[in-house]
Structure 1
Amino acid sequence: MSADIVSQFIERLSWDKVARHIAAGRPAILPIGAAAKQHGFHLPLNTDRVQAEWFAAQLAERIDALIWPTVTYGYYPAFVEYAGSASLSASTFEAVVHEIAAGILDGGIGTLFVLDTGISTLARVDRALARFDPARVTHLRLYQGPRFSRVAGQIAEQRHGSHADELETSLMLALAPDLVEPERAEASPVLRQEVPGRLTPSDGNSPNYSRSGSYGDPTLATPAKGAALLAAILDDLDEQVSVALGKNAMRPQPGTSR
């Protein structure tokens, strides 16, 4: 990671340097990405955090933003049967996000981007941010943009999926290949029916049974698919941020190995 990118993370700066950056009007990014959430046999528990901080660094480089420490615990009830996976209650998670965001804004930040890598967290983060001025706070839904959805639909070969699957594993192969163990990837069973709720590694009769914890088929993942998805997400982020800032967010060609 370059020295310029390191300087965007406030946890690596002294408080007086942070104060000077805030006084200069730099925006802030608050990444949300689990560090204790199973991602199958082939990906680490901090997969969401890795993605959140990678995209935060990319975005910060484009708009000269400061990055606050990642919120690594959240509302992830679907995964608690898998060892190491943790989930806060919805109310606790909402309170945590609200209080952190309030502290950032009270500290003098004029514009805050909350970068969210979750699915179950989306509605909760919306609720946490609802009382803030929308001109100052923007919820960036990392995997909800139109370009990502279009590219995902074009390249996906799996019949179902949404977690540690073909798409998420492809992303990780592109941005952090050293963290992926492709030989350990295991597809979840063919769904008899899609039932919202917790995945389970032990109840073979459950429609949500997945021995590995994957929901989809990560064996179909490739770095090329991941690179296409990364580019789509960055374009979606640029559009959202440009609207929020009222100007074009110029960006260089994205790297895929930082």
Structure 2
Amino acid sequence: MLLENITMTDFQKGLKKTKTLIIPFGTVEEHGSHLPLSTDTMQVYEVVKEAAKRVSVFVAPPIHYGVLTSTRNHAGSIGISANSLRMLTGDIIKSAYDKGLRNFILISGHAGSIHMSALKEIGEEMIDEFDDIKIAVISEYDTIRQESEKLVETKDDGHAGEIETSRILYLAPQLVK
């Protein structure tokens, strides 16, 4: 159930089926001169929307901003601090917890180490604060890289490489230059 597309009544009914919220994280970040700045967000959001078709979960609208390090000075890259990411994520989890959700999957299309550390840190803080909460933090980008190693032709494929280009060609070919 995509939160942005349901009513409060749908939400209340949904709580009878699931207490799980998936929160997708992406970035506004350069991905070479051929891919859109929203590449990370587009990929992870499509993955979680597909998951929501298969299992009963709530899906939050994606968080489009993340912590950037190596790409922060590139044209179009707009990042936030690790503290801002922790605070925003914590506020979202607390608000969703107050509405009855107890299980949270923080899944990121951006795999930057400081970005992922911030998500793990706030996850641990929330587990310390609430006795009945479960939180998983996943790097979707790292997972897809591991799972596709046998398929890709590019050795050590990485940022804006064969995998990401292939996925955006599938999702939005008109956006690939």
1:16 positional shift? 2.7
1:122 positional shift? 1.4
Separation in 1, partners of 2:103, 2:34: 37
1:22 corresponds to: 15
1:171 corresponds to: 167
Does residue 124 of structure 2 align to residue 130 of structure 1? yes
1:156 positional shift? 3.8
The letter of the residue matching 1:13 is I
Unaligned runs of 5+ in 2: none
Aligned ranges 1:138-149 → 2 under 5 Å:
138-145=136-143, 148-149=145-146
Higher strand share: 2
Distance 1:150 1:47, change over 3 A: closer
Distance 1:69 1:170, change over 3 A: same
Does residue 89 of structure 2 align to residue 97 of structure 1? yes
Distance 1:40 1:144, change over 3 A: closer
The percent identity for this pair of structures is: 23
Does residue 53 of structure 2 align to residue 67 of structure 1? no
Unaligned runs of 5+ in 1: 1-7, 182-258
2:148 corresponds to: 151
- Provide the TM-score with structure 1 as the length reference: 0.60
Kindly indicate whether the alpha-carbon contact (under 8 Å) linking 1:29 and 1:60 is maintained by their aligned counterparts in 2: no
Whose RCO is larger (CA < 8 A, sep 6+)?
A: 2
Separation in 1, partners of 2:16, 2:147: 40
| Equivalent residues, number | 171
Larger Rg: 1
The letter of the residue matching 2:21 is A
2:73 corresponds to: 81
SS at match of 1:137: strand
* Stretch of structure 1 that moved more, 66-75 or 128-137: 128-137
Separation in 2, partners of 1:58, 1:26: 18
Separation in 2, partners of 1:26, 1:61: 16
Separation in 1, partners of 2:141, 2:29: 17
Kindly indicate whether the alpha-carbon contact (under 8 Å) linking 2:18 and 2:57 is maintained by their aligned counterparts in 1: no
